[in-house]
Structure 1
Amino acid sequence: MKWAGGITSVVQEDIILLRELHVNHYRFSLSWPRLLPTGIRAEQVNKKGIEFYSDLIDALLSSNITPIVTLHHWDLPQLLQVKYGGWQNVSMANYFRDYANLCFEAFGDRVKHWITFSDPRAMAEKGYETGHHAPGLKLRGTGLYKAAHHIIKAHAKAWHSYNTTWRSKQQGLVGISLNCDWGEPVDISNPKDLEAAERYLQFCLGWFANPIYAGDYPQVMKDYIGRKSAEQGLEMSRLPVFSLQEKSYIKGTSDFLGLGHFTTRYITERNYPSRQGPSYQNDRDLIELVDPNWPDLGSKWLYSVPWGFRRLLNFAQTQYGDPPIYVMENGASQKFHCTQLCDEWRIQYLKGYINEMLKAIKDGANIKGYTSWSLLDKFEWEKGYSDRYGFYYVEFNDRNKPRYPKASVQYYKKIIIANGFPNPREVESWYLKALETCSINNQMLAAEPLLSHMQMVTEIVVPTVCSLCVLITAVLLMLLLRRQS
């Protein structure tokens, strides 16, 4: 295999891991600051950044792996935040369009699947409402709606740029990826619970999807936020308004719908007034619950509820007019905060969720692809390296960051090769064989500290001792020469 010159040996090894998994596509994100350090194309383009991603794309294609590329996964150039206030400023839409055009120009001859934004709801809520993510602002009940408003405009500008300038030459697709859990009514015979569950989905998925597919925010968002804004003594709704021209410009700006999904919540109406001030959570007027019998995967928010996946896929299919759907994120994090390669809970999660996706396809959902989250253990925002979603365990304490396959690697590989689940007996054999690999890999991982110690001895102690020997020899030789003279 001939590798492109600009990518590192570690990236080359990761592409080998992708080949071993037999995947036919790989989703990764570009870094806006890496390509445009100031965020503004007219000021500075980092050619080394362009070269790195170009070589990565070439390496993937040479391995018959289709690149699916995300333009923005929450890493905004710092200067755009400092100078303009980031996504609170509508000027971000133009800067994002310019950045997108640079990417289309540099990589669009080889990249045919583009995602403008990945999970913009979390970016807006955690960045401008709760402050858990950068830029860490707590503009309760206002900042996230303003940020989302500008993100939607930026998405539309990037889509129109591709549509008018690049599509005829490059023949690619541009969409957005939206994450949402499923909301199931606590009591399906109770109209209030049904309305609350619908409201949950509209405030989650519809917030971004409805403008793109129908031209405006969901009516329930406009009604609830408008009413609460009036109750709070405001003359205008805290939810921004699209002009008629903007509605027309935004509507239809998606060649596919990307969906991220991890878990489910039971939803019931909140029948008591909130004493807190304006906030996204209070605007929804609902309560989220979990079933204590659902398998707990270790993270506080993540429970395995496969049937919710099928319902979300079917909801998106009917709600937005039968769009092509790409599942962009779906996976389970590490159950224990320790080294654990026998991840049988992830195997069970994959089996359950992929089966429900296959049922949704039989229901008529137009699902074009599935991407599991994620290839490697990696940085998970405010959780750092503690939440491990990877098929491959990464030893972060070793400077070489070695990768070790978890049991789920063998299982997922079988699903990909078979393109599904042939029969229960064979699938059970996959499970047993996958777990057989754990003990060997765990032994390798357990030996890693010793190997690292030996490597340190080799790299540091041995050269130091050799240098001392040379120095002592030189001193002795000098003394001998002096004595002779």
Structure 2
Amino acid sequence: MNLLGFVFSLFIIGVSSKCQRCFGEDFMWGAATSAHQIEGAWNTSGKGENVWDWFTHNYPEKVRNGSNADIATDSYNKYQEDVDLLGNLGANFYRFSLSWSRILPNGTTNNINQEGVDYYLNVLKALQEKNITPIVTLYHWDLPISLHEMGGWNNPLVADYFNDYATLCYSLFGDYVKYWLTLNEPISQCYYGYGSGGHAPGYTESGTMTYMCAYTQLLAHAKAYRSYNETFRAKQNGKVGIVLVTLWYEPATESDADKQAAEWAIQWALGLFGHPIFIGNWPQMVIDRIGNLSVAQGFNTSRLPAFTETEIELIKGTYDYLGLNYYTTLLASPLLDFTDYENVTVGYGYDRNVLSSYDPSWTQSPVSWVTLFDVPAGFRAMLNWVANNFGNPPVIITENGWSTYIDLLNDTDRIQYIKGHLCSIYKAKYVDKVNLFGYAHWSLMDNFEWSSGYSEGFGLVSVDFTSPNRTRTPKASYYYYQKIIKSNCLEHCSLNN
């Protein structure tokens, strides 16, 4: 080789080393689903009715095209095929949820459904055979109908029933499960289910019920965490966390008011649940804002339930790791003047006081009814916010994904989304030193997407919902993600932005 060739080869090696970003050998790669969205078999094999069964059957107009999850992807019968898809993908872990009413048909431990227990044992054994680590969510929005009839998450007694259920699951499945997640996205459940009415159970009392739901769910999480500590940790040596979510918000302008609005938007989602767990009590800005508004609105006490000192201590520190979901970013500005407490409507949105917008240069999901933009920088910013505000706890990404039409197999826009977002978390982990140890794509396959039904899909795998067989077909993004997992590296991930 002549001198010029030698210099050129060094240049190529240098370019390659700059473009290829490799994760550590202990970094975990996976995919995620939830029980109600994939299992089907809604009233067979001993399963009890849950609140989403009830909601979709009684209020079909609340779901696009009147869809329901009675069959969904039929994973109750096709779980082995799903595990095989995970194995072929090369996934290190599978994040999925248990159906409370499949295990406990009436929500309580006085009636254990052995067929439901056996189903999950079979799933766990199938994963074990593929050397895939289960990360199990105890609750992903599918409350047993009997507990809904008791008041649901507005009744603090449900926290005790959840603790009973969690304790049973630890005892039944703890030999297979070393990563537990108590609740999925409590802010989504409490706002959309009890505030806006778009999700089950369909209540529209965001200024009161949303906060009562949050209070009860935080107690439920804390009690389940403490139960694991007291009874199971020494023997099982597992970890327990919770899944939190927020859209990231950037200030619409450089004004102080817009910067405050962006911070408040995040505090009313991540802070509402993260602050009690990682720091103690609700965020002070939330306490003050709702307290001041409540007085102006004629309430005798704050609409935000107050934790007792005992409850603050019960909740504080209840984490071994944090599951974090991120999808998109928006811009924030104030809805009203922050100092105006008069004539403000009672509601979570007015409490939060954020007007959302977006940058027209951002790529938007082709599914027009979804406000989803491809903004990888927001992912890195959110991870840094969590690290800076919550003491840099161990974090695993439990959901991140892109929505498009379910029959689109050549999903190049999803590949672009994955590419940018994985580069963003690489920079968060290795440049910013965020304590991140894994990533799950949402979702393994197209499924029942709540109020959107089957009109959109986040899956790496397409499902033919017109076929009785629910035929699975991997998309282009499945093979792209497969290559990333196999190499454990990203190509063309610049650290300069």
TM range (shorter): 0.7 to 0.9
Corresponding residue for residue 444 of structure 2: 375
Deviation at 1:20, TM superposition (A): 0.9
Deviation at 1:420, TM superposition (A): 2.3
Deviation at 1:47, TM superposition (A): 0.6
Corresponding residue for residue 55 of structure 1: 122
Residues 48 and 176 of structure 1, relative CA distance in 2, 3 Å threshold: same
* TM-score in terms of structure 1 length: 0.83
After TM superposition, the structure 1 = structure 2 runs for residues 191-340 of structure 1, keeping only pairs within 5 Å, are 191-271=256-336, 277-299=345-367, 300-334=370-404, 336=405, 339-340=407-408
Asked if the contact 2:332–2:355 (Cα under 8 Å) also holds between the matched residues in 1, the reply is: yes
CA distance in 1, matches of 2:202, 2:224: 26
Runs of 4+ in 1 over 4 A off after TM superposition: 6-9, 272-276, 422-425
After TM superposition, the structure 1 = structure 2 runs for residues 319-398 of structure 1, keeping only pairs within 5 Å, are 319-334=389-404, 336=405, 339-362=407-430, 363-398=432-467
Corresponding residue for residue 144 of structure 1: 210
State whether structure 2 residue 143 is matched by structure 1 residue 76.
yes
After TM superposition, the structure 1 = structure 2 runs for residues 97-116 of structure 1, keeping only pairs within 5 Å, are 97-116=163-182
Deviation at 1:19, TM superposition (A): 0.9
Corresponding residue for residue 38 of structure 1: 106
CA distance in 1, matches of 2:380, 2:102: 37
Range moving further from structure 2, 91-100 or 128-137: 128-137
Amino acid at match of 2:223: K
Deviation at 1:112, TM superposition (A): 0.3
Amino acid at match of 2:423: N
Residues 294 and 424 of structure 1, relative CA distance in 2, 3 Å threshold: closer
Deviations 1:74-132 (A, max 9, x none): 000001111x1111111001100000001000001110000000011010011111111
Deviation at 1:140, TM superposition (A): 3.3
CA distance in 2, matches of 1:19, 1:34: 26
* TM-score in terms of structure 2 length: 0.81
CA distance in 1, matches of 2:168, 2:493: 49
Deviation at 1:339, TM superposition (A): 2.4
CA distance in 2, matches of 1:145, 1:204: 11
Corresponding residue for residue 60 of structure 2: none
Deviation at 1:298, TM superposition (A): 2.3
Deviation at 1:424, TM superposition (A): 7.2
Amino acid at match of 1:377: D
CA distance in 2, matches of 1:239, 1:144: 9
CA distance in 2, matches of 1:423, 1:87: 46
Amino acid at match of 2:489: G
Deviations 1:328-378 (A, max 9, x none): 0000011x4x62111000000000001000000021100011000000100
Deviation at 1:135, TM superposition (A): 1.2
Equivalent residue pairs, number: 415
State whether structure 2 residue 455 is matched by structure 1 residue 416.
no
Amino acid at match of 2:306: V
CA distance in 1, matches of 2:335, 2:204: 24
CA distance in 2, matches of 1:127, 1:235: 26
Corresponding residue for residue 57 of structure 2: none
Corresponding residue for residue 194 of structure 2: 128
CA distance in 1, matches of 2:291, 2:156: 22
Query: Any stretches of 5+ residues in structure 2 without a counterpart?
Result: 1-44, 46-74
Amino acid at match of 2:461: Y
Query: Any stretches of 5+ residues in structure 1 without a counterpart?
Result: 1-5, 426-485
Deviation at 1:187, TM superposition (A): 2.1
Quick check: which has more Rg, 1 or 2?
Answer: 1
SS at match of 1:211: helix
SS at match of 1:57: helix
After TM superposition, the structure 1 = structure 2 runs for residues 438-449 of structure 1, keeping only pairs within 5 Å, are none
Deviation at 1:284, TM superposition (A): 1.1
CA distance in 2, matches of 1:391, 1:152: 32
Deviations 1:230-261 (A, max 9, x none): 11111211001001111111100011111000
Range moving further from structure 2, 134-143 or 88-97: 134-143
Amino acid at match of 2:326: H
